[in-house]
Structure 1
């Protein structure tokens, strides 16, 4: 794996403290000109004004970046009065640069943004409302999965139009399974199946499921299991951390028991779980959908992918989503705003091509198409869209989620018991949530 690929995966998560980057006071963002507001144009149906140049920022530094650029080129060829140019940054740099650039007037017109970042940037006035886009294009929850559609809201106003969903999936090494006497075409789907498969793998000398102590991918696995057991990271209003509940302790203990029972080495290094999967040293890996295309580059590996096994009492999977947003400008330009909305709608409608980069399209008509179903591996994870566990629309959660992942890290490394690690993490997280309420005025 290249450094860019590893960095990109790590920034697909929940902020790594990036909420602080957006906490700058953006005095002057949006200016006093109402032409930059959400009512400019006809909400993206079409654009008939003079030619405009639009700047678009994104963080697609991996193979999906080439697919995204090709889509932009195609859009430009079909819209002679709109010219979109792209600038690509590592996600960590992207989110750090955006607030200052918007404030100074040098920011983009359109910004691709992870769902978990929308509330923070909306609260600080960096991005503008898009309710008129949804109305004009007659988009509703029925056109998308409810989890993704609701994720674009902050204070009951829409700030993001969802493009995709990228969940955690269950990868299984067929060759390793077959060697242990398991059916390589029947991966485990329940807690009991999983335990039985691990026992057979252990008999064959394989530690079947390596538990990473890092956010990628052990923290995301714990996040998924917490929700599978019916728990949550926060209460309904996201004012109090709850990841030390009985359900959370049970989920965390199940993972740490993998090490105690000999199904995983201790102190697994960053990405070592995935590299071991590729080299046939383990059988099961919970990892992001973005690994589909990476595995396709290795024809010597016999692998499959499926929705996460249901270990707890209900299905759940960590997921995030890319959304399109429009950045507020110091000097409003109604033509640019109108043209930006046309681009957002067009790319949403053409998200089948984007799915080939390893993403589940947010738009239902695209997911239901025969062409998408032909993308067998990506389509295999589409069912998770209905029960994907997304973070709440609350500003400043990046630092709090880092505390969540660090708490799991301490438990996974055996530095503390699951109960103690989660209790300590919740105490710190609640202080952070209190600070966020003061910072963001909510």
Structure 2
């Protein structure tokens, strides 16, 4: 039975196209800002201190706050409902959400802040905090977190640390969205395989794929695109003990033997006939929804999409451990406070009231198909009843985030992502593709250090 293509199969990560323009466009402006002053502007320090006063509430005149996000898909409705509830509960604060596709959001936000027309509160991905910090687009939130009494125990150490860049906090985590292993129950059942065949290890994974192949089914389609192949590679790299970049952001490390091992495994799936060659963008997900693909490494953002497709029978597991250790790619939405013009500093206290309220209501945000960042939400009976999300949450101890390095996303997109693409399409051998991309990345990283080096 053929089904129509699932709408919006990229979900939240649709933000990726156009990221290469990040350094070329906004980065040039940021470089000029940094040349003139290596220290933190006085108004940013003052604004951070003013914002912390919002921990005691807001007693000023009625005010409307602008809240910017990239929630354009199934995550928009849950956030709109949360905002409506906040507005009902607060007589003197009204929040209005502005929505822009993630692909455009990360160029629009710094330009708006620099012109004095930015929002009061925004949502950024964890892998964008460092770049926004060196652009001075967002405020440091150490004083805010302290005033609200927030710490790692309220979230988890890995989630809490994801909001830190160069020793300062810039984000309050709202959720975490890692990869998981989706499986198609219909495909497995038609092949005579049940839940006992669900893979947890490399051996299990290859064994069930061999079983499927014997029945004429290519069971694990490998995508050459960032979503999902690039994120699969990053997970495999960490599982093999490798790293993407050095901690100081000076060198690309993905060309190591661990990187070659990770990419070679993806090629092995193709060479053994478990995946077609030349898988097109979203073709792995479309095949999954059409009962032609048994397994797909995809993000939690697909939960609501797959659940909305009539007749699709599926489940989810933690990603299998292919390498020597457990690890999985993840990202996280963080609440941030953009820098304000001097005339708007009185709004900061009201903004912190909203940030605090939204953070404490992260269980309701789980309706968007995310794992809530707050520990108390994840440990609640209500969340445990969200079966699939609770399975994703099991991976939090082994979630790995992209490194907190300014401009790193654009470097990765123009080097590593292309190497994965070339290798998966069998245009270059894994070692050759990764080593070449690492050399190119090193040159870009050197430029980054010149532009973004020093304290933010």
CA contact (8 A) 2:64 2:94 kept: yes
Matched, 1:153 2:164: yes
What is the aligned length?
442
SS at match of 2:348: helix
- Rounded Cα–Cα distance in structure 1 between residues aligned with 2:253 and 2:229: 19
Match of residue 302, structure 1, among 302, 308, 313: 313
Distance (Å, rounded) in 2 between the aligned partners of 1:427 and 1:151: 27
Alignment match, 1:400: 411
- Answer yes or no: is 1:364 the counterpart of 2:367: no
Partner of 2:253: 242
Q: Aligned pair 1:287/2:298, yes or no?
A: yes
In the alignment, which residue of structure 1 is the partner of 2:13? 9
Distance 1:75 1:149 in 2: 24
2:103 to 67, 89, 92: 92
What is the TM-score with the length of structure 2 in the denominator? 0.92
- In 2, the alpha carbon distance for the partners of 1:314 and 1:13 equals 31
Residue equivalent to 2:450: 438
Aligned residues of 2:50 and 2:348 also touching (Cα < 8 A):
no
Alignment of 1:33-182 (within 5 A): 35-182=46-193
How many Å separate the matches in 1 of 2:196 and 2:361? 33
Is the CA contact 2:126–2:332 (under 8 Å) kept in the aligned structure 1?
yes
User: More deviation in 268-277 or 290-299?
Assistant: 290-299
SS of equivalent residue, structure 1 residue 212? coil
Superposed CA deviations along residues 160-189 of structure 1, whole A, max 9, x for unmatched, are 000000111100111211222222365110
TM-score, normalised via structure 1 length: 0.95
**How many angstroms apart in 1 are the aligned matches of 2:24 and 2:157?**
29
SS at structure 2 position matched to 1:318 = strand
SS of the equivalent of 1:290 reads helix
Separation of aligned partners in 2, 1:289 and 1:396: 25
Q: Compare 135-144 and 425-434 and name the one that shifted more.
A: 135-144
RMSD: 2.1
Q: Specify which of 327, 330, 339 is matched with residue 319 of structure 1.
A: 330
- Paired residue for 1:429, among 411, 421, 441? 441
Counterpart residue number, 1:419: 431
Deviates more, 1:329-338 or 1:17-26: 17-26
* Structure 1 residue 221, shift from structure 2 partner: 0.4
CA–CA distance in structure 2, aligned partners of residues 185 and 21 of structure 1: 51
**SS, match of residue 376 in structure 2:** helix
- Cα shift at 1:41: 4.7
Point out the more displaced range, 331-340 or 171-180: 331-340
User: Closer, same or farther in 2 for the Cα pair 1:397/1:13, shift >3 Å?
Assistant: farther
Q: 2:219, 2:23 → 1: CA distance?
A: 36
Mapped partners of 2:341, 2:224: distance in 1 = 44
CA distance in 1, matches of 2:121, 2:266: 41
Q: Quote how far apart the aligned CAs of 1:238 are.
A: 2.5
Give the conservation status (yes or no) of the 8 Å contact 1:144–1:363.
yes
Classify 1:182/1:17 alpha carbon distance in 2 versus 1 (closer, same or farther; 3 Å): farther
Larger displacement relative to structure 2 (97-106 or 3-12): 3-12
The separation in 1 between residues aligned to 2:306 and 2:44, in whole angstroms, is 50
Assess if the C-alpha contact under 8 Å between 2:239 and 2:324 holds in 1: yes
Give structure 1 stretches of 5+ with no counterpart: none
Helix, strand or coil for the counterpart of 1:44? helix
| 3-state SS of 2:247 partner | coil
2:22 to 1, 11, 18: 18
Inter-partner Cα distance in structure 2 for 1:15 and 1:323: 19
Q: Cα distance 1:440–1:363, how it changes in 2: closer, same or farther (>3 A)?
A: same
Aligned in 2, Cα 1:393/1:297: closer, same or farther, shift over 3 Å? same
